[in-house]
A = this chain, B = another copy of it.
């Protein structure tokens, strides 16, 4: 496994692979890797010959007052995991490399960010889209792999790739979960013991709502209200609970086969998110 912080070294390596006819898979991360990230690497290996992983805590996707400064980091642990997972190249750029002095060009996404996490985290998806554009332009992968835990992010990036005619495919991998159902997340490191015990309520609610929806309950606000009460009973502070159309992320009052439920709640200082398709079993959870 090679690692570099330099754009030109990534380009040189990927150019050589592409010229040799090899397929390049890319997993962008913010580090502090868990099994969910490694599942993305595993997925990339299924269809690609060479795997590039980036580790970059992207400042522009954090809103003021969020956890940019305290975001957990473990570079040596990450490199060990990535080596064991069969990664070929790790790109660890400096902030000044992706955001040099005077840079100011951004990618704006239209209406998709005006929902869910985008409303609560102003500029978040602009930051995600801008840094992914830079990373995609540097790594030039055939496939980029993202986890479904960040459902809105995946929808935003798929749209960006389509709209800007980028030549790569966005691949999604289902959310990896702890045994009690809690979605794996670097931010789970913020949870106290008690919060950790309570946090799986998010997944239990999603599972219950899905079961109710599949059994014929189509009333979105009823299901949202039940979920709200259950999360609050478990000590969570609701950021949002919504049932939306999975394509445009608009709220739907009556559940149909495109409906998707998304929740965001604080347990202590950890803001946790999770989501599930309610009817369609083709979408990963």
Task: Name A's B-contacting residues (CB within 8 A).
Answer: 7, 11, 19, 21, 98, 100, 103-111, 129-130, 133-135, 137-138, 140, 159-160, 162-167
The 8 Å CB contact of A104, one of B98, B105, B106, B109, is B109
Q: Are A106 and B108 in contact (CB under 8 A)?
A: yes
Partner of A129, one of B7, B105, B160: B105
Contact present for B137 and A167 (CB under 8 Å): yes
The reply to whether B111 and A163 contact each other, CB–CB distance below 8 Å, is no
Q: How far is the CA of A133 from the CA of B134 in the complex (A)?
A: 12
| In contact, B105 and A7 (Cβ under 8 angstroms) | no
* A7 in contact with B111 (CB, 8 Å): no
Complex interface: chain B residues within 8 A of A159 (CB): 104-105
A26 to chain B, nearest CB (A): 14
- Identify the closest chain B residue to A139 (Cβ): B165
Q: Are A111 and B105 in contact (CB under 8 A)?
A: no
CB-based nearest B residue for A99: B163
A263 to chain B, nearest CB (A): 26
Chain B residue contacts of A162, Cβ below 8 A = 100, 103
Q: Judging by beta carbons under 8 Å apart, are B107 and A111 in contact?
A: no
6 contacts between A and B (CB under 8 A): A100-B162, A103-B110, A105-B159, A106-B108, A108-B108, A137-B166
**CB of A11 to closest CB in B, whole Å:** 7
Alpha-carbon distance between A134 and B161 when the two chains are bound, in angstroms = 10
Residues of B within 8 A of A138 (CB): 165, 167
B98 lies within 8 A of A165 (CB)? yes
Chain B residue nearest in CB terms to A104: B110
**With a CB–CB cut-off of 8 A, which chain B residues contact A107?**
105-108, 164
Contacts of A130 in B (CB 8 A): 164
Q: Is the CB of A167 within 8 A of B11?
A: yes
Which residues of chain B are within 8 angstroms of A106 by Cβ–Cβ distance? 107-108, 110
Given contacts A138-B165, A140-B167, A165-B7, contact A105 B108 (CB under 8 A): yes
A49–B260 Cα distance when bound, in Å, is 50
Across the two chains, which residue of chain B brings its CB closest to A159? B105
Verify B137–A103 contact, CB threshold 8 A.
no
Additional A-B contacts beyond A105-B159, A107-B108 (13; CB < 8 A)? A7-B165, A19-B21, A98-B165, A100-B162, A103-B163, A104-B110, A105-B163, A107-B107, A134-B164, A135-B165, A137-B164, A137-B165, A137-B167
Residues of B within 8 A of A100 (CB): 162
